[in-house]
Amino acid sequence: MPGVIDTRLAELGIELPVPQKTRVAKILPAMIVGRLLYVSGMVPQWNGELRFVGKVGREYTLEEGQAAARLSTLNVLAQAREALDGDLDHITRVVNLKGYVNAMPDFTAISAVVNGASEVMIDLFGDAGQHTRTALGVTVMPFDVATEVEAIFELS
């Protein structure tokens, strides 16, 4: 029987990608410490295929940047699901998100791009999806992708 969060994903029409191993970095994609789950920065990929390669403000509009942040966040959730043996219901709170945006120097709507990530968490977890956040514009990203998102979750 699907859990509450899996049911909510279905209601929202959201499918999570298959969690991928890191391409280059020698890191863990996720780690549980006490009652916290840390998920490393995830890029916008679908089942291993990189998407949104380029800069927001040049190759991508604000709305496309938000879609990239959303896809990065779906990869965060896929890694969380794997770390939690398939059960996202163990997440009781989204504590913190960090969003990085590969942007042109004159593109200043960085926070608006990262809203694409925040909205996924709020839509999925409701009040427990409200979180603290950092949004940063950067000049270069791994694989030249448009966004990267990392997260910290509280667990039951």
Does any domain span residue 23? no
Query: What CATH number does residue 36 fall under?
Result: 3.30.1330.40
Does any domain span residue 20? no
Q: What is the pTM of this model?
A: 0.96
Number of domains the chain is built from:
1
Torsion of CA 37, 68, 48, 104, to 10 degrees: -110
Averaged pLDDT score across all residues of the chain:
96
Identify whether the C-beta of residue 135 lies closer than 8 Å to the C-beta of residue 110: yes
Does any domain span residue 22? no
Q: What's the rounded Cα separation, in Å, for the pair 100 and 98?
A: 7
pLDDT by residue (tens digit) across 107-148? 999 999 999 999 999 999 999 999 999 999 999 999 999 999
Does any domain span residue 131? yes
Q: What's the rounded Cα separation, in Å, for the pair 12 and 120?
A: 10
Supply the range of the domain harboring residue 36: 4-15+28-155
Beta bridge partners of 93: 154
